[in-house]
C-alpha cells in the first residue's frame, strides 16, 4: 500500500518537473532579445515580441504594490501589536475571506468601481484590482512575523522608556523585516501571474500604453490571448511568454521561501 | 474591502435580479439574444468540474502526503514538500497553456478509447472532442493537488507520536497504523484541506476556460463541453450589451462569491479544529 502512496508523491512531483520541462523546451527557442524588446507584430504576421506586456506587468505590479503593501503591512502591524478582541477578529476574518474570493470576482468589482466611473479601461484599475488581491497575503505574513518577535525585545524597549509606537517602529518591525519583505515578495509574485482580474480592468493593448490611465498589455493576459488564437506563431510566442512569466514568478517564490526558511527558524532573540 | 465587494456585486446585479428574481438560480437558459438568463448551467459546470478534480486530487494528494510524512525521512520530505509548494505558485494561464496544447490531445485519444469501449454509458457518450468537462476536471485536479498535499502533510505530521507508538505497540503494521490511527486523527484537517482545494477549484478561471469548451448547457456526458461561472465571466463580460446582460453576469459573480465564501469558511473551521492552538494567540 505504501508503494501506492510513493507513486502518488512521485506523480505529483513528476507533474511539476514535466510542467517546467515542457515549458522550458517549448519556450526556450522563442525567447530572444527581440522577443523581449519588440512590440507585437500585426495580426497574422510572424515575429514581434512582448515588450509592452512585460513593461505593462511591471507597471501593474507597481500600482498593486502601492495599494496592497501599505494596507497589508499596516493592517498586519495593527493586528499584531494593537489589536485585541472583536475588531481584530473581524479584520482577520475579513482578510481570510478576501483571500478566498476568486480573482475574477475581484476583477468584476474593480470594473464596477473604477472602470465604469472613469469610462475607461486603465492600468490604474488593473493595478488596484491586483492590489486588493495582495492585501490578505501581505497582511497575514506581516502579522505572523511580527508575532514571532519575542516579547522580551518589546519589554526591554518599553522598560527603557520608549513610547509604544517607537517600540513598534524602531524595535519590533526591524526585527521582523526579513520575513515581512519575503512575504511581500510572495504576494507580488502571486498577483504577477493573475490574469482574470486584468481581463476587464487593464484590458490589453497592442502598443505601448502611455501613463497610467490607458489600457495596458500584461504578460498573463497576452499569453492567454495568444494561446487561444488560431496562429501558430502566436502559440510559439505564448510559450515564450509563459517561460518568462514562470521564471519570474518561480524565481521570486524560491527567493522568498529561502529567506523565510532561514529566518523562520529563529524564534528566540538574544 | 470585503464588504465593498459584496455590496458592489449586489447593487450591480440589480437589473438582472429585478428581471428574473429567484428564477435566475433555477433556470438553465442562457440566451443573450432574447435576454433570458439562468445560472444553472454554470453552477453545474463549476460543481461538476470541481467534483471531478476532487475525486482525482484527494486520493493522489492524500497518498502523496502520507508518503511524505510517514515514509520519507525529513531530508527527502522537506525538499519534496518545498517543490510541491512551488506548484501552487504557477500562474493559472500557464496551467491552461499546457492544458490546451498537451492535455487536450492526450484526452482526445483517451476519450476516444473510453468511447469505443464504454461508449454505451451516458457518462461517456458523445464525440471525443478532448475539450470538455473531463479535461477541465483533470486539469483542475493537477492544480489543486498541491494544496491537498501540503496541508495534509502538515496535519499528519502534527499527529502526536504517542498515537503512532501506541498502535505499533499493540501490534499494528505501519500501514494499519497509518490507516486506522493517524489518518482518522487528522481527519478534520485533511477535510479542511479538501475544502480549501475545492474553494480554489471553484474560482479557477483561466485554465478552466481554456479547456472546458464554454458551452452553457448541462449534459450527462463527461466529454461534453461545459461552462463554469468564472469562465462565463471571463469570456462574456467585456462583450455584454445592455444592462440586463451585464446585470446577469454580475449576478453570476455574486453567486460565485457567496459559494466560495461558504466553502472557505467551512475550510477554516475544519483546519482550526486540528491545529494546536497557537500560544501567542491565546
User: Which residues of chain B does A5 touch, with a Cβ-Cβ cutoff of 8 Å?
Assistant: 63-64, 66-67, 70-71
Inform me whether the pLDDT recorded for B3 exceeds 70: no
Run of H or E residues at A85: helix A85-100
Distance between CA A84 and CA A245 in Å, rounded? 40
Cβ contact, residue pair B268, A9, below 8 Å:
no
Cβ contact, residue pair A249, B87, below 8 Å:
no
Which DSSP category does B238 fall into?
A: G
Structure confidence at residue B16 (pLDDT): 52
Lowest mean pLDDT among A100-104, A197-201, B204-208, B246-250: B246-250
Structure confidence at residue B280 (pLDDT): 38
Q: Strand, helix or coil at B61?
A: helix
Q: Does A206 contact B at CB distance below 8 Å?
A: no
Cβ contact, residue pair A223, B94, below 8 Å:
yes
Q: Give the percent of chain B with pLDDT over 90.
A: 0
When mean pLDDT is compared over B56-65, B222-231, B266-275, the highest value belongs to B56-65
Distance between CA B36 and CA B44 in Å, rounded? 18
Distance between CA B225 and CA B209 in Å, rounded? 10
Q: What is the reported pTM?
A: 0.81
User: Which residues of chain A does B96 touch, with a Cβ-Cβ cutoff of 8 Å?
Assistant: 224, 227
**Which chain A residue is nearest to residue B196, measuring alpha carbons?**
A100
Q: Indicate the domain borders of chain B.
A: 2-273
User: Which residues of chain A does B261 touch, with a Cβ-Cβ cutoff of 8 Å?
Assistant: 97, 100-101
pLDDT band at B282 (very low <50, low <70, confident <90, very high): very low
In degrees, to the nearest 5, what angle opens at C-alpha A114 toward C-alphas A112 and A118? Answer: 110
- Compute the radius of gyration of chain B from its Cα atoms: 21
User: Which residues of chain B does A196 touch, with a Cβ-Cβ cutoff of 8 Å?
Assistant: 92, 205-206, 230, 233-234
Cβ contact, residue pair A193, B87, below 8 Å:
no
Q: Which DSSP string do the residues of A194-256 spell out, in sequence order?
A: --HHHHTTT---SS---SSSS----HHHHHHHHHTSS-HHHHHHHHHHHHHHHHHHHHHHHHH
Over range B107-136, report the average pLDDT: 77
Structure confidence at residue A179 (pLDDT): 83
- For residue A62, give the C-alpha cell: 507597481
Distance between CA A78 and CA B131 in Å, rounded? 48
Q: Which DSSP string do the residues of B242-255 spell out, in sequence order?
A: SHHHHHHHHHHHHH
Interface-testing mutation among B84, B205, B235, B270, with chain A (most A C-beta atoms within 10 A): B205
In degrees, to the nearest 5, what angle opens at C-alpha A110 toward C-alphas A104 and A112? Answer: 105
Of B9, B210, B260, the CB nearest to A228: B210
Structure confidence at residue B275 (pLDDT): 55
Interface-testing mutation among A2, A3, A5, with chain B (most B C-beta atoms within 10 A): A5
- For residue A35, give the C-alpha cell: 522577443
Structure confidence at residue A266 (pLDDT): 37
Structure confidence at residue B254 (pLDDT): 78
Largest CA distance in chain B: 71
- For residue A120, give the C-alpha cell: 475607461
User: Which residues of chain B does A26 touch, with a Cβ-Cβ cutoff of 8 Å?
Assistant: 101
Which DSSP category does B92 fall into?
A: H
When mean pLDDT is compared over A39-53, A194-208, B54-68, B244-258, the highest value belongs to B54-68
The domains located in chain A, with CATH, are 51-264 (1.10.3720.10)
Structure confidence at residue A196 (pLDDT): 85
Cβ contact, residue pair A2, B5, below 8 Å:
no
- What CATH number belongs to B2-273? 1.10.3720.10
Q: How many Cβ atoms are within 10 Å of B221's Cβ, its own excluded?
A: 20
pLDDT in tens, chain A (270 residues): 777 778 888 888 888 888 888 888 888 877 777 777 777 877 777 777 788 888 888 888 888 989 888 888 888 888 887 777 777 777 777 777 778 888 888 888 888 777 777 888 888 888 888 888 888 888 888 888 888 888 888 888 888 888 888 887 887 888 888 888 888 888 888 888 888 888 888 887 888 878 788 888 888 888 888 888 888 888 888 888 888 888 888 888 888 888 877 765 433 333
Interface-testing mutation among B49, B144, B206, with chain A (most A C-beta atoms within 10 A): B206
Q: Strand, helix or coil at B90?
A: coil
How far away is chain B from the Cα of A167, in angstroms, using its nearest Cα?
19
Inform me whether the pLDDT recorded for B27 exceeds 60: no
Over range B243-263, report the average pLDDT: 78
Distance between CA A183 and CA A259 in Å, rounded? 9
Q: How many Cβ atoms are within 10 Å of B70's Cβ, its own excluded?
A: 21
pLDDT tens-digit series, residues B172-196: 888 888 888 787 888 877 887 888 8
- For residue B270, give the C-alpha cell: 475544519
pLDDT band at B230 (very low <50, low <70, confident <90, very high): confident
Structure confidence at residue B274 (pLDDT): 58
Cβ contact, residue pair B230, A102, below 8 Å:
yes
Distance between CA A155 and CA A228 in Å, rounded? 59
Contact (CB, 8 A) for B230 and B256: yes
Structure confidence at residue B237 (pLDDT): 79
CA dist list (Å): B122 to B49, B67, B138, B219, B221: 17, 36, 19, 9, 6
Distance between CA B267 and CA B246 in Å, rounded? 31
**Which chain A residue is nearest to residue B99, measuring alpha carbons?**
A19
Structure confidence at residue B30 (pLDDT): 64
First to last CA, chain B: 27
Distance between CA A125 and CA A201 in Å, rounded? 5
Cβ contact, residue pair A108, B250, below 8 Å:
yes
Inform me whether the pLDDT recorded for B18 exceeds 80: no
Amino acid at each position: 500500500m505504501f508503494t501506492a502512496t510513493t507513486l502518488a508523491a512521485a506523480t505529483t512531483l513528476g507533474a511539476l518537473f514535466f510542467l517546467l520541462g515542457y515549458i522550458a523546451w517549448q519556450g526556450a527557442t522563442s525567447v530572444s532579445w527581440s522577443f523581449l524588446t519588440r512590440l507585437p507584430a500585426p495580426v497574422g504576421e510572424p515575429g514581434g515580441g512582448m515588450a509592452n506586456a512585460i513593461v505593462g506587468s511591471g507597471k501593474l505590479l507597481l500600482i498593486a504594490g502601492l495599494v496592497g503593501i501599505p494596507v497589508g503591512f499596516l493592517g498586519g502591524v495593527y493586528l499584531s501589536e494593537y489589536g485585541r478582541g472583536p475588531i481584530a477578529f473581524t479584520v482577520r476574518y475579513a482578510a481570510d475571506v478576501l483571500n478566498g474570493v476568486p480573482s475574477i470576482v475581484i476583477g468584476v468589482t474593480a470594473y464596477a468601481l473604477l472602470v465604469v466611473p472613469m469610462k475607461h479601461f486603465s492600468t490604474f484599475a488593473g493595478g488596484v484590482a491586483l492590489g486588493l488581491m495582495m492585501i490578505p497575503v501581505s497582511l497575514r505574513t506581516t502579522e505572523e512575523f511580527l508575532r514571532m518577535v519575542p516579547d522580551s525585545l518589546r519589554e526591554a524597549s518599553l522598560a527603557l522608556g520608549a513610547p509604544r509606537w517607537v517600540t513598534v517602529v524602531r524595535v519590533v518591525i526591524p526585527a521582523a523585516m526579513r520575513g515581512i519583505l519575503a512575504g511581500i515578495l510572495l504576494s507580488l509574485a502571486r498577483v504577477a501571474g493573475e490574469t482574470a482580474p486584468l481581463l476587464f480592468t487593464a484590458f490589453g493593448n497592442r502598443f505601448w500604453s502611455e501613463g497610467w490611465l490607458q489600457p495596458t498589455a500584461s504578460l498573463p493576459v497576452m499569453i492567454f490571448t495568444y494561446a487561444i488564437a488560431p496562429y501558430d506563431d502566436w502559440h510559439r510566442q505564448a510559450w515564450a511568454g509563459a517561460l518568462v512569466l514562470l521564471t519570474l514568478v518561480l524565481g521570486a517564490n524560491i527567493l522568498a521561501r529561502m529567506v523565510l526558511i532561514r529566518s523562520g527558524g529563529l524564534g528566540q532573540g538574544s | 474591502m470585503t464588504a465593498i465587494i459584496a455590496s458592489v456585486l449586489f447593487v450591480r446585479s440589480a437589473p438582472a435580479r429585478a428581471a428574473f428574481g429567484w428564477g435566475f438560480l433555477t433556470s438553465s437558459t442562457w440566451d443573450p439574444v432574447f435576454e433570458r438568463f439562468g445560472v444553472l448551467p454554470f453552477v453545474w459546470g463549476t460543481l461538476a468540474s470541481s467534483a471531478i478534480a476532487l475525486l482525482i486530487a484527494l486520493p493522489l494528494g492524500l497518498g502523496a502526503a502520507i508518503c511524505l510524512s510517514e515514509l520519507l525521512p525529513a531530508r527527502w520530505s522537506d525538499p519534496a514538500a518545498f517543490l510541491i509548494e512551488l506548484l501552487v505558485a504557477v500562474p493559472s494561464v500557464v496551467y491552461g497553456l499546457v492544458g490546451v496544447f498537451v492535455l487536450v490531445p492526450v484526452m482526445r485519444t483517451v476519450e476516444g478509447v473510453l468511447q469505443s469501449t464504454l461508449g454505451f454509458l451516458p457518462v461517456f457518450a458523445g464525440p471525443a472532442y478532448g475539450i470538455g468537462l473531463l479535461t477541465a476536471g483533470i486539469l483542475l485536479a493537477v492544480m489543486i493537488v498541491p494544496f491537498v498535499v501540503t496541508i495534509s502533510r502538515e496535519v499528519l505530521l502534527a499527529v502526536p507520536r504517542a498515537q503512532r507508538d501506541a498502535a505499533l505497540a499493540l501490534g499494528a503494521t505501519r500501514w494499519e497504523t497509518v490507516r486506522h490511527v493517524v489518518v482518522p486523527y487528522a481527519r478534520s484537517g485533511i477535510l479542511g484541506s479538501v475544502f480549501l482545494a475545492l474553494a480554489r477549484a471553484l474560482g479557477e478561471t483561466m485554465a478552466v476556460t481554456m479547456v472546458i469548451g464554454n458551452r452553457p448547457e448541462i449534459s450527462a456526458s463527461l466529454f461534453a463541453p461545459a461552462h463554469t461561472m468564472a469562465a462565463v465571466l471571463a469570456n462574456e463580460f467585456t462583450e455584454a450589451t445592455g444592462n440586463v446582460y451585464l446585470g446577469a453576469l454580475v449576478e453570476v459573480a455574486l453567486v460565485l462569491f457567496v459559494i466560495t465564501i461558504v466553502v472557505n469558511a467551512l475550510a477554516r473551521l475544519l483546519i482550526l479544529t486540528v491545529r494546536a492552538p497557537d500560544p501567542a494567540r491565546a
